[in-house]
Amino acid sequence: MRQYSPRRHRRRGISPRSQLLLTILLVSAITLQITYPLIHGEPLRLVTLATVYFAAGLMVVHSYFSYGWRYAITYLLITFSFGLAIEQIGVRTGWPFGSYTYDPSLAYQIFKVPLVVPFAWVMMAHPTLIAARRLTKNWIFLYGGLAMMAWDLFLDPQMVAAQRWTWSRIGSGIPFEREIPISNAAGWLFAGMGLIALLHVALPREPRKGGAESTAVDIFLGWTFFAGVVGNIFFFHRPLVGVCAGLIFAAVYGPYGFTRWLGRP
């Protein structure tokens, strides 16, 4: 049975204007993703960049409305710095993701790493931390690494097919996408573990009174799963990616969805 929460125990929530801002950012990010398989060329490149920036902005704004300025600023600085640093190491040494290079189409670069890439880390780290903290107390870092890896199983095949980045040495590829080395999945696992562990230690754990609920985060995660499965099967002609990555994503994020749906004591 659903956990009953008396009305007097419910939080008042954020103001209508704040909720409107969250809704605009969420709808914009989802709308941009809907247009992705329907366009080509320069519009597609711009939509790719805009999707990441809008989604990252959504997560930073939501983190502020939920936890306050300290959380939002610390989260942004740590995640952006971590993403930029690990990507700098990756493009120079081939560790931990494998040997790869970014295409100039991803716009402005910071020493061979496009500016948009660290913001992709910002886009997913906040939802992952929320899910990890809800599901476990002692294994947050491990769940975080698995969750970041599961999301990347959707991201990398799509970006490699669009030639946004390429690997120079493949070796053993992942079963459903031979153009991506298996070291990339391992790299996301360990890098994700490190980032989520760092965020968990550095960031406040209790939402502020009257803060935003995690509805926007839940919708974004649900849409990420739906778009990844449907897009790969029906639009990108990679059904194995859609099915296999979808099963892994559902296995990792599914328990969080159930706790949000059914409630918990």
Ordered by start, the domain boundaries in the chain are 14-262
pLDDT of residue 4: 58
Strands 113-114 and 177-181: unpaired
pLDDT in tens, 21-40: 999 999 999 999 999 999 99
Residue 109, judged by CB atoms within 10 A of its CB (0-12, 13-18, 19+), counts as middle
pLDDT of residue 254: 95
pLDDT of residue 174: 76
Residue 141, judged by CB atoms within 10 A of its CB (0-12, 13-18, 19+), counts as buried
For Cα atoms 94, 56, 82, give the angle at the middle one, nearest 5 degrees. Answer: 35
Say whether the peptide bond before residue 175 is cis (omega within 30 degrees of 0): no
- Report how far apart, in Å, the C-alpha atoms of 168 and of each of 18, 116, 159, 176, 254 are: 45, 21, 15, 18, 34
pLDDT in tens, 40-91: 999 999 999 999 999 999 999 999 999 999 999 999 999 999 999 999 999 9
Contacts of 26 (CB under 8 A, 6+ apart): 58, 216, 219, 220
Strand partners, 100: 167
